[in-house]
Amino acid sequence: MGLLAVIVIGHDRPGIIADATEALAATGGNLEDSSMTLLRGHFVMSLVVRTQTAKSDVEAALRPRFDAHELDVVVMELDDSSAAGGQGESFVLSVHGADQVGIVAAMTRVLADHGANITDLTTRLAGGLYLLVAEAQVPASVDGEALAAAVEAKAAELGVEARWRAADTDLL
């Protein structure tokens, strides 16, 4: 069996998820991971699908459902060996404050420089308030106190509030 990534992006409308998952089910595709969101009225969905169907046949099953609606579809093969779960402890970073250029770049650089691997990231702008929520895997070898201090220092430098905490693994 092969592993495929399926990405669908374009103007939102009802039924996109149903159309995609019906087409994938019809080709024998089993959804292993998925993420969907609306970004300023644009639909964005990523799926990881395990299937014995050829990539070209999966594309052929999806395209007719989306071409008429001007949705872009990308299907790509994935290396199955990289499908293992993350290593380390799960943490959540939440940041909020006045919107400004560079919040995501600065805060994610702190995590990267300390060896944390971001596994999920969401941002929202509401009026002038910016919100960032990131989940990260932190290897046991990382100095957790130093990482927490670096997060606090960068947030203070940016003039935003930040909270770094262990993730509730029952919710992830």
- Residues 42-88: tens digit of each pLDDT: 999 999 999 999 999 999 999 998 888 889 999 999 998 765 556 79
CA distances from 111 to 64, 71, 84, 135 (A): 42, 34, 21, 10
pLDDT band at 18; cut points 50, 70, 90: very high
Domains by residue range for the chain, with CATH: 2-83 (3.30.70.260), 89-166 (3.30.70.260)
The model's pTM: 0.81
Q: In what order do the strands lie in the sheet with 2-11?
A: 30-39, 42-51, 2-11, 72-78
